[in-house]
A and B are shown apart, each in its own frame.
Chain A
Amino acid sequence: MNPLARRQFIRDIGVSTAALPFITGLPSLGLAATTPRRQRLVVMFSPNGTIPKNFWPDATGSDFELKEIMKPLAPFRDRMLVLNGLNNKVRGDGDGHMRGMSCLLTGIELFPGNIQGGSDTPAGWAKGISIDQEIKNFFQSHEASRTRFGSLEFGVGVSDRADPWTRMSYAGPNRPVAPTDDPYQMYQKLYGQLRDRDSLLSILDEVRDDLKRVSKKISAEDRRLLEEHAGFVRQMEQEFGRVDSNALVSNPPKFEAGITNQNDNVPRLSRMQIDLMVNSFVNDFARVGTLQYTKSVGQARMNWLNIKDGHHGLSHESDKNEDAVDKLTRINKWFAGELAYLAKRLAETPEPGGSGSLLDNTTILWTNELGKGNSHTLRNIPFVLLGEGLGFKMGRSLDIKGAAHNRLHMAMAHAVGHHLQTFGNKKLSQGGPLSLA
């Protein structure tokens, strides 16, 4: 929160003591034991399509095997729901990547605009809200599910551009939400005020010593001013000291300093962001999270997998290029590994104030803007659900047979009690929410 917003906040809640700006760092009041179980949604995005033959399980139903790309998810096979055959049917302006990205969570067309892709017509931002923001607004509108931030948008290697390829979350028409791809910045947003308080407490005592020492050297008349000043410092020390810094359910993760935001650091940045996300759930800062790896047309160079080519460039290679297929398989498998790490962290972490683990109350949706990179198809887009937050029946691989992906979004909204009649494009909402329970 910037200082202006912080002051506004203090005004809004109608109290003003020195300690308050720091209290806002504490967990929300939604921790009471009587509240219904928490439900969380995480949307994880990785770009440029997948390699279908190494991704989709062959079988449908509960008896399916994970292919190469999804192998890292083996420990969670029974907690997964693989949705084959879902299509992004939104048409209109923008190339496949742009619509793939900006219509992925919105399910609605893009405005005409000035951004030209590799083909098709130029386009602007999406015309509507995205499902993560829709659910966040729903949670925030209810006392029991309201949290400090509502939603947190994490990114990894997104780049500093703002265009339809870099934004999947929208607060409304023409209102893209930027993910934060610097973990230090996210850390500052989540815990900055508490850290400020700690730094401050560590020096206030010395500030008073300093005042005392200086006081000795000035006239008695002038000393009164410094004594008055020292009184205020003492008061602040007492007020800040009263705020229990252990009031957090979980202390913030300890970060190594100076991990710069660049390609080769992506694996470390990814883990830092995941750790922050898990921690923010424990402290109940938000019930909705997004985790966006690079962007549509992202050119991550996965040197750590010994792959020197850019991801998007590779994704255009023909299916017959075995080297490219191998590399793309490994790239997508790496993303699955990050998802597995997130799932593992959630599964290991007990639900605060409840029973079970965080994963019991969290559903992760792993998705992509394209079905396949070299065809730019918006059919058969990877949609994999993991975890029990939304109460779907897990441990299955389903063939949805070409339904519009708007119906998945409606199913997720219904699962948290938000009974939308349509979402995004009304026509594409026909048939209502997918039945996944």
Chain B
Amino acid sequence: MRPLAEKLGQAFGLATVLLLTKSTGLAKPELSGDQVYSQLCVKCHGDQGKGVANEHDEPLVGDWSIEKLTRVIIRTMPDDEPEQCVGNNAKRVARYIYDTFYSPDAQMRNKPPRIELARLTNRQYLHSVADLIGSFTGQSEFGQSGGLKATYHNSRNHSRNKHSIERTDTTVDFQYGSGTPVPDNKEYKAEEFSMRWSGSVFAEETGDHEFIVTSENGVRLWVNNMDLKLIEGWVSSGELHELNGTIRLIGGRAYPLRLDFFKYKSRSASVKLEWHPPHRARQVIPARNLSPASTRSTFVMRQPFPPDDSSAGYERGSAVSKKWDEAATFAAIEAANWVAEHLDPLADTSAKNKDRLIKTREFSHQFAKRAFRRPLDAEQQRFFIDSRFAERKPVTDSVKEVVLLTLKSPRFLYPDLGQADDYSVATRLSLGLWDSMPDDELLRAAAAERLNTPDEARQQALRMLRDPRSRAKLRNTFHHWLGIAHAEEIAKDTEQYPNYDKSLEADLRTSLNIFLDNIVWETAGADFRKLLNSRHLPFNERLAKFYGAERVKNMGEFGPSFFDHERAGLLTHPYLLALYSYHNATSPIHRGVFITRHVLGRSLKPPPEAAVFKDEAFSLEMTMREKVTELTKADACMTCHEIINPLGFALEQFDGIGRLRETEKGRPINTISDYLSADGSAVRLTSAGDLARLATESPSAQNGFIEMLFNQVAKQPVRAYGPGVLNRLRRDFATSGFNLQFLLAETAVINALNGIDPAKPIERN
């Protein structure tokens, strides 16, 4: 809180200013907006609002209405002397700024965005290499989830006899004590028995997965690489102990898994199979991530890359760096060594096969062709393949060089080198919807030149949506949109929220993922609006109990759960409410900023001066709303906070972990305020439901969402595709009933066909 003297000083200053401007305003002649700008603004904002180093180096661009811009100038500009620019001068300079460079239209006119050459993003690299190698070894699939195939034997050595039992176990978490796993079967003795659990495990997100097996008996675990045990603990001295192994997995895919167990003579027996996946607490691997059906292994690149540029709000491959080039080199080496080591199965040959050289050459040719996403011409065939086999050296050395040269080639790393043919369409579709390379069907369609019309491309896009890679990409897109892609644990004050712990939080993240998946992929209509206004959330029993929701029975572990109060989809999902809060209180500012930028599609400048929220600086009786109002009351703050705060206040009835609350500090929660919309009109917000209406109905919010999705699909700014694209997409989106699958496919098609003219194929090589 500021001292009273300062406040008085301000009030006094303001009064003098008013007097001054009145008198000077009469004396001076009227100036044009251009002239006002040159006199008062250019010093700090520079020519054409480009900014001035050490003054105001941010370019003067944004999406405020002309009215708001005028008001802000009157109140705050020039800095420290706002009385210098008021009245008609302010109006005229605001108009000048708005029309010349500030408004979105002006920005577009001054610097039309273009589609830039881009390398593969890190995600695209990872998935492309996995699918490239998978195109030879077979792709992984996730069967019906619900647990692992279990086989029980009454001997210690897994030997099958008529007493062996097969069944499905939902999870592996068993305490047999001094008994047996099949207590009602007398053929099973406590002295010795053995089990095998096999099938596949589905990774939700990309990253290191730690697997943990706890047992006092003999155990072995294989994950993805079935030739190499991830955990070797066959020998045990009967003491309960934990064994762990860490393996990198790509999210949205399934991996083969097998756990072997045996007991012999020890006093007791137990076995527990847990994992610690990225962004998630350690837990027993849940049934929904396990399937009794086995699957193929996937090549998972271990080499990390420096983060992609995401300054524009989505990761894109717009820049290269030394670190990136090194990472791409080590990644290529990793892949080359793997290929050389597994050459025989990949090339369908063997060390003794007389055709080994021929088959290896054929493999190399296919490898380069698939990596480049188009056939090789004669020159490329010579350069990438023939020259590598020219010298008499071991075929494994030749194939290594092919892989290195291919994966280091710009033809692989820069997927769109401007050829603009059917193969370009195939590539853009697969990168757009999967972040990966085209599959066989796309390549076949490209070879037959059946991809260059909207109908043909759309048909492929709709087919591709059924592939799990589309789900994985969309989930990744949503995670970026919601700001949770890199969220680690959300630390909460244990005194304030005693029952909020890591495993509850893991359930919340799961709930959020299931919520997104359900609406896009499981619900008829795939209605975008439901993301923001759904009145029910998928909760398991624990979450339902904790958040006071009523679960619909028999609808699965995370079944729809209804509340006795108003909820608004994502906007009130406890995971996001908790994330956008302080560790011991709500944060209307964090919630408001998130909604302004990500849900309503409006831009915000960084705060002119950093103000830190210090809870102890406020008196004890103040509510959070009062504290925020006090903290942001300065004019310089309010220019943005008059947008931010009402959005955050509307969610104040949800506490720092997303539970409903009626009061704060013994007083009823006040959620009512007026929000200033992009067109300058005021909208009264009283609840989360009002927020949801705003977010689903306002064209600028819809545009914001479409733009976000488009950018993630195309990895290019939507505005580079022409001025009308965004509005046209919005109209069609509305006509489709805001169908998300439609939007995704349509976005992919627009991106894929950009610059493709079936009548005039471009010959470039």
Contacts and interface: CB of A to CB of B under 8 A. Distances in A.
B266 interface: yes
Contacts, number: 132
A157 interface: no
A207 B320 contact: no
Contacts of A211: 410
A119 to B, nearest CB: 14
B376 interface: no
- Chain A binding surface SS class: helix
Contact of B401 (A3, A115, A199, A232): A199
Interface string A173-197: 0100000000000001000100010
A257 interface: yes
Nearest to A257: B394
Contact of B320 (A2, A203, A219, A229): A229
Given A114-B218, A210-B383, A124 B333 contact: no
A21 interface: yes
Interface stretch (B282-290, B324-332, B552-560, B669-677): B324-332
Contacts of A226: 117, 410, 414
B264 A122 contact: yes
B360 to A, nearest CB: 12
B234 A2 contact: no
A124 B237 contact: yes
B265 A229 contact: no
Contacts of B263: 114
Contact of A258 (B238, B321, B351, B410): B351
B322 interface: yes
Contacts of A209: 383
Nearest to B350: A258
B190 to A, nearest CB: 13
A313 B764 CA distance: 71
B411 interface: yes
Interface residues of A, number: 49
Nearest to B405: A203
Interface string A128-158: 0000000000000000000000000000000
B404 interface: yes
A222 B318 CA distance: 10
Contacts of A375: none
Interface residues of B, number: 54
Interface in A89-122: 111-116, 122
Contact of B404 (A4, A115, A188, A200): A200
A421 B117 CA distance: 70
Contacts of A214: 410-411, 414, 417
A21 B238 CA distance: 42
A218 B411 contact: no
A228 interface: yes
A106 to B, nearest CB: 14
| Residue in B237, B262, B336, B383 with the greatest tally of chain A CB atoms within 10 Å | B237
A326 B351 CA distance: 36
A34 B51 CA distance: 64
Contacts of A221: 114, 116
Contacts of B235: 113-115, 124-125, 162-164
14 contacts: A3-B302, A21-B330, A111-B237, A113-B237, A162-B234, A192-B337, A200-B329, A217-B417, A219-B117, A225-B119, A232-B320, A232-B325, A258-B351, A258-B352
Given A124-B237, A162-B234, A163-B234, 4 more contacts: A115-B264, A124-B235, A199-B397, A225-B318
Interface of B: 114, 116-117, 119, 156, 217-218, 232, 234-238, 262-266, 302-303, 318-322, 324-326, 329-330, 333-334, 336-337, 351-352, 383, 394-397, 400-401, 404-405, 408-411, 414, 417-418, 764-765
Interface of A: 2-4, 18, 21, 111-116, 122, 124-125, 161-164, 174, 188, 192, 196, 199-200, 202-204, 206-207, 209-211, 214, 217-219, 221-222, 225-226, 228-229, 232-233, 235-236, 257-258, 260
